[in-house]
Each structure stands twice: as structure tokens, then as C-alpha cells.
Amino acid sequence: MKTDARIYRIHPFFSDDVLRKQAEVAPVEHFPWGSQAPVDYRPLSFARITYDDASLRVYMETNENDLRMGTGVFGHVHTDSCMEFFLSPDPLSRPDYLNWEFNPSGGMYLSVGTSRHDRRPLPVDNYKEIFQVQTNADPNGWNLRYAIPLSFLRNFFPSVCFTAGTCMRGNFYKCGDNTFRPHYGCWSPIDLPKPDFHCPDFFGTLLFV
């Protein structure tokens, strides 16, 4: 049962600088299962989103600095240092959601389905160009920026649109199953006994303004 689902307001896109520094912050600050490491590791992480007529623009940042970089695409990206965005674009009509998962090397995993148990991988050729993927790592952490084209979403959700008043659902995550300090953080709180991000009942609301 949901305990504290969040609301995130997505404002129109004006510039990359606004996206990175001024758009509303979605703090990935809930660690429902603590940490599996010798110490309770909770890296400071957040997400920001803006939109225009053609795309959602996603920016995520974390101060995680002991990185498991990863190199593979469509491998077990969640086992690396990883930031994720799960999105249900048309929650009133369809229960399906997409999950984007990225490591610091820009390796991506993407799938669609209604739950953990019925997911269909979506290997996208030239995904770095299609989603405009950029990552950057330095001693203070790493960040991730990408775009989700409306034209791509409409392959799965034909009636979706990016306009003020649109309401979607989703969650932002920070994880690293096989890192030196495993951790599982989320934006919208999850009330389950063990780590599981594939739980749309706990998604927060994404409101376009």
C-alpha cells in the first residue's frame, strides 16, 4: 500500500542550463531497505525534467564517486553504478510502463511491460543519438542527461502528448547492486519488504504545467 506518493511538476524547457540547475528537483532520498554495505550508504542524488512539444528532457545527478562504470548495453546495467527512470506515460488508459536504466559509461537498458514479470526488452539501434545520451563523471560524482522523444513514446502509447495538464506517473531511482557499496534509493517511497523498483503502485505523479 502506498505510504507517501510524490508529485513532481514538469515545467517547459527553456535551456539546458535551466534543466540542469533550475528545474524542480526530485530528490532520490528514500532508501527503504537501507544499504547492503558495511556502512549505510545513501548517495545524494536527484532528478530534474523539463519538456517541449517534441521531447521530455531528463537530467540526473549523484555524488556517488566509487564507480562501477560498466560497458555493456542491454546487459545488467542495474548492477553497475546506475540511475533509472520508470515512466507510465498513459496511466489512465494503460498499465504499461517503460524503464530507462543508465550507467556512467552511457550503457542503457530499456524495457516495457506492466510488471517485473512480463517485461519486453527494447534494444534501440543508435540509442545514444535517438535519446541524446550524455554522461559525465568526475571525483565529485557523475551525471546523466538524455531526451525521450514524443515520437518514440507514441510507438507504444499512441495518444500520449506533452501539454500543460497532462498527468503521467513514474519514479526515479539510484542503485548499484554489485558496486562496492550496494544501495537502493527512490524518489517516491516504496513500502515493500525487499528491494523491488518494479512496483507501479508506488509511482509518484508527474504533472505537466
What CA–CA distances, in Å, run from 42 to 36, 39, 76, 81, 130?
11, 9, 21, 13, 32
Cell numbers describing residue 117: 514479470
Q: What is the pLDDT of residue 1?
A: 44
Q: Where do we find the cell 539546458? A: 16
Pick the CATH number of 7-208 from 2.30.130.10, 2.60.40.1190, 3.40.50.2300, 2.60.40.60: 2.60.40.1190
> What confidence tier does 18 reach under pLDDT thresholds 50, 70, 90?
confident
Per DSSP (E only), the strands in the chain are: 7-12, 26-27, 45-51, 55-62, 82-88, 97-102, 108-113, 120-121, 134-138, 141-149, 167-175, 184-186, 204-208
Q: What are the helix (H) ranges across 3-84? A: 16-21
Tens digits of residue pLDDT in 133-160: 999 999 999 999 999 999 999 999 999 9
* pLDDT tens figures, 56-110: 999 999 999 989 988 666 778 999 999 999 999 999 999 999 999 999 999 999 9
Of the given ranges (33-37, 133-137, 152-156, 177-181), which has the lowest mean pLDDT?
33-37
Distance of CA 72 to the CA centre of its chain: 18
What are the extents of the domains in the chain? 7-208
- Taking residues 121-128, report their average pLDDT: 93
Question: SS3 for 18?
Answer: helix
pTM of the model: 0.94
